[in-house]
Structure 1
Amino acid sequence: MFKIERAAFAVIMTLLVLALSVASPARAAGTSQIEASEITIGVVGPMSGDLAHMGRYVRDAVALAAEEWNEKGGILGRRIHLLLEDDRNDPAEAVTAAKRLVQAGVWGVIGHLTSAGSFPASAIYHAAGIPQITPSSTDPRLTEQGFMSLFRTCGRDDQQGRVAAEFVLESLRPRRVVILHDQTAYGRALAEAFKRRIVRAQRSLRVTSMAISSGGKDIGSVIEQIKTEEPDLVYFGGLFHEGGLLAKRLREQGIKATLVSGDGVFGMEFINVAGETAAAGTYLTFAPDPMLLPSAEAAIKRFHDRYGAIGPYTLYAYDAAGALFTAIARAKPKAASRSHLLRVSQHLHRMTYLGALGELRWDAKGDRLKPPYVIYQVKKGGSFQGWFEQVTDRTPKR
């Protein structure tokens, strides 16, 4: 879901260059600022602002995992201590937060939530040798940097666009398709991946591409353009606010085309904006329903008892923490120094982690070997959050 805006990409790349020189003196000297009795893990994401609710899901999931490990003696006989940082979903703030975590001598980082934060911060962690696992940064470019200490428990945007296209071709079989995006890099990448797949597979389709402005200010004129195309299906690459407005206005104007979108629309916020009637029937790509995973039952119950209902990326953060803790325990680093922590990343690359989401393994880039995307339909009474029902078990081929 969470990807970098093109307009911000140049700024982020500048921050990346600066970030490569910020490994703290303590790291460079191969010493640790950690208390001998504790292993400190950084948890970072938006804890304030529009995405604060998502950041809190990550914070709480990691806290639950740490509590479980601490009850069993911690890691290597040391108690796990979590150090929380707020990046406000801002690249500059993400760099500042990453510097503070490096200076604090963390042994690993869970975060950032979005690729806008993960991208510039990853260079800082890489320079210090600190393993970083993001539960939700989906920009394909993130793991193309060649940082061996960078991992994600989620999938990539290019994968879910392909999954959506295959489902549309095999199950919905439209004749006329409108593809539009919200002019974010995330939305554009989804739309392009979807279009490439359906055009290559079915050249007889009539496909029209459009864009909607961020915030949906031009939604009226876009709806008029869609009406003239008389589509059977509308594919939207973008986020929940614009997606909700689109669904609402399509139904208000009597356009009966099936709406299909991605994980940026997945969640109750989409339904709140669109309204229940307009949202119902929409198809979305997201990870497999955790409610259907026997491996997730215990974690979901413990989380619910402590914090309430799980969020979209709760289990991805929970498993990110569990995998990191396991790798530290196996690598047995003697200090939070670069040379010792690189052994933790080496173990992450080699190991198979059995978590709430099932079996997790990573390739040389830090991407999941089995990318996690399936199709959901928005349906009142659905098994996930009461509104989302998994309708396929399709995952993309590598």
Structure 2
Amino acid sequence: MSRLPSESELRRTGATIAAAQAACGAIPWDVAGDTAGKVDPWDHVEAAMGLLATGFDDEAAAAYDFLARTQRADGSWPVEWRLGEDGTPRVVDAGFDTNLTGYVAVGIWHHWRTRGEVHAVKAWWPMVRTALDAVVALQLPSGAIAWATGEYGPAAHGLLAGTSCLHLALRCGAVLGDVVGDPRPDWRRAAGRIAAVVAARPDDPRVFDPKPRYSMEWYYPVLGGALRGPAAHDRIEARWEEFVVPGLGIHCVDDHPWVTGAETCELALALTALDRRAEAARLVADMQHLRDEDGSYWTGYVYPDDARWPIERSTWTAAAVILATQVLADRAVLVGASNHARMFGNT
């Protein structure tokens, strides 16, 4: 299928996410495969957005309620849980990753923009406030956000992709604060500092631990809204031929012939932010070879071997397809990809 999925096809995709969700509300990585049972807070939120966008409102609410119940006193969540046979989550990595913690604000913002339910925002606001306060407390003098903290204190550097994503989370959180009558100008200031350092020093190893082989490091400054205008176009053009494989999608890393669906759809969202909609639509159509007959999506494809890899159909890939397709069809609010005038008004 080399076209954008239809609304009914997206509904089937949302149903595969809903079917994977545990009774506690947690959404594991995988429909059924190598990573079945793994849960992390970032991909859980992405999957929850996919559920809401395809009409699984109760399931999306259950996903956010799960996070509200499991948030730690410091505002964070574990890096990873595993679901037992009875569906009970067990912490297997208790670390504190700032990007995994802050992304909840994007999900709740998406819920508000999609459903307009202020009462729901108010119910989840304490969770968002505590999470983003924890993130801002780890902003470094450079403006980057320390990517993690733990026994020995915060990391000395940020990650470019993670800090760029937190720019989006802080802007979304500030809007939610306005909605509930709890303005957070400190979050807007923190986002402004992120935008400044991403624009001025994206490749400075004294600021960001370099991860140049990953496509996420290439496009996330645009996807998260930290980089705009001609500089954003220039960044996309600079490595287009390294990452984009016509007809298949984009590489996850620049040194392996492996295309991945979620990264392809995220790049499409970034391109939509730059009004490059035709290129964005082409990318989403190109990656449809990863669609399974039940509507779920394989994570990636190693094209010289004609092999799916890893052996998983990931809920977060399915969600990325849903969000990118609906944005391109003008059936959804933009998450992480609009120009800020459309996304945040004059905030």
State TM-score, norm by structure 2.
0.28
Q: Would you tell me which structure has more strand in proportion to its own residues?
A: 1
| Larger Rg, first or second structure (1 or 2) | 1
Q: Would you tell me which structure has more helix in proportion to its own residues?
A: 2
State TM-score, norm by structure 1.
0.25
